[in-house]
Amino acid sequence: MIDPFGRSISYIRVSVTDRCDFRCVYCMAEDMTFLPKSDLLTLEELDRLCGAFVRKGVRKIRLTGGEPLVRRNLMSLVRNLSRHLHTGALEELTLTTNGSQLAKYAGELAAAGVKRINVSVDTLDPVKFEAITRGGKLPTVKEGLAAAKAAGLAIKINTVALKGVNDGEFDALLEWCGREGLDMTLIETMPMGEVDHHRADRYLSLAEARRTLAKSWTLEDIAHRTGGPARYTLVKETGRKLGFITPLSHNFCESCNRVRVTCTGMLYMCLGQDDSADLRAPLRATESDELLDAAIEAAIRRKPKGHDFVIERAAPAVQRHMSVTGG
Ligand code: SAM
Ligand code: SF4
């Protein structure tokens, strides 16, 4: 699939649920209303949809949410999708998780061919962790991380940089990642969906974070790319990677290789734009995939050049929360 700007689309992120057992302050409002379960694609529909993208050349699938591991029977979808790994059509099947259920599922994920996962950890202080996630337990996430390591999964920690909240902890997080053998990515907070504060108050430019980190660590730029807005460095002292996701202070839309599907089957061609295509209707219209394929092709032809995030605006750039489109 080649979009109008010559970018090859080889990566889909699929949100399997908008629900979550956490309520991170930058991601959700405290009293979120979730979608009725009947609106969600079934696991069979998600499998069919992923299959259509794989046929069209997608090489990497990331399952996300909401919290993917709270979707009932998710492991059956993971096991089914792993058939594309066995045929070689798919290079990678992975997921982004808050880690709360990882102790239970790490072994099954590894057995199904998942090799790497992203786990979100914004602080190593259990009290602050509970405050940021509105109720999450850091020790449970750490047990999950230990189980994932024991199962042989490579782990990347995602940390959203929040001014006045965790900006004093980046050294400690980096040191912990080094000790535990984890890569890490710092993420700028993005204006998606209404939350209970104005995001500009918490926004921290990662250029600034990098300057501070460079006082204590030797950060060497490396060529590693995933086609997204992350740029990676090698931390010489630990030998681990540190990435910076900076959609606001820089954007790297020109090399974007991805699209996103929500749990209701809406295809978003850009995380930071509202245009979308309904894939649920063609999925449900017939058992053959002709309409689905045509809808995907038409949507890719409309993939926009880039996003429209500006943190200072009073209103979010897009109305939907990250948990709907999937981070
Ligand atoms: N629940 C899983 C988790 O937290 O890893 C997967 C979904 S979550 C939406 C995916 C990633 O998006 C997480 O790393 C989270 O920190 C990040 N995220 C959520 N809302 C964000 C926002 N407004 N700006 C930047 N990152 C955000
Ligand atoms: Fe849930 Fe992930 Fe959003 Fe936190 S960032 S509320 S864990 S979906």
Q: Is the pLDDT of residue 309 over 70?
A: no
Q: Which ligand is nearest to the CA of 187?
A: 1
Per-residue pLDDT at 201: 77
Put simply, whether the predicted model's pTM sits higher than 0.95 gets the answer no
Give the span between the Cα atoms of 209 and 13, in whole angstroms.
27
Which candidate, 212, 187, 158, places its Cα nearest to that of 309? 187
CATH label of the domain that carries residue 280 = 3.20.20.70
Q: Does 206 reside within a domain? A: no
**What is the reported pLDDT for 316?**
63
Using an 8 Å Cβ cutoff, are 96 and 62 in contact? Answer: yes
Q: Residue 163: inside a domain, yes or no?
A: no
Residue 285 is part of which domain span?
11-158+255-325
Considering its fold, how many domains does the chain have in total? 1
Q: Is residue 3 part of a domain?
A: no
Q: Which atom of ligand 2 is nearest to the CA of 321?
A: 3
Task: Give burial (CB, 10 Å; 0-12/13-18/19+) of 66.
Answer: buried
Residue 260 resides in a domain: yes
Lookup: tokens for 14: 């699929």
Pick the residue with more confidence: 325 or 140? 140
Give 136's contacts (C-beta < 8 A, 6+ positions apart).
21, 22, 98, 100, 129, 130
* pLDDT for 168: 93
Name which residue sits closest to atom 21 of ligand 1, judged by CA. Answer: 27
pLDDT of residue 314: 56
The finding on whether 67 has its CB within 6 A of some atom of ligand 2 is yes
Residue 118 covered by a domain = yes
Q: pLDDT per residue over 222-278, tens digit each?
A: 987 776 678 899 999 999 999 998 866 666 677 788 899 999 999 998 877 888 999
Determine the pLDDT at residue 322.
Answer: 67
CA dist 279 and 274 (Å) reads 15
For residue 176, is it within any domain? Answer: no
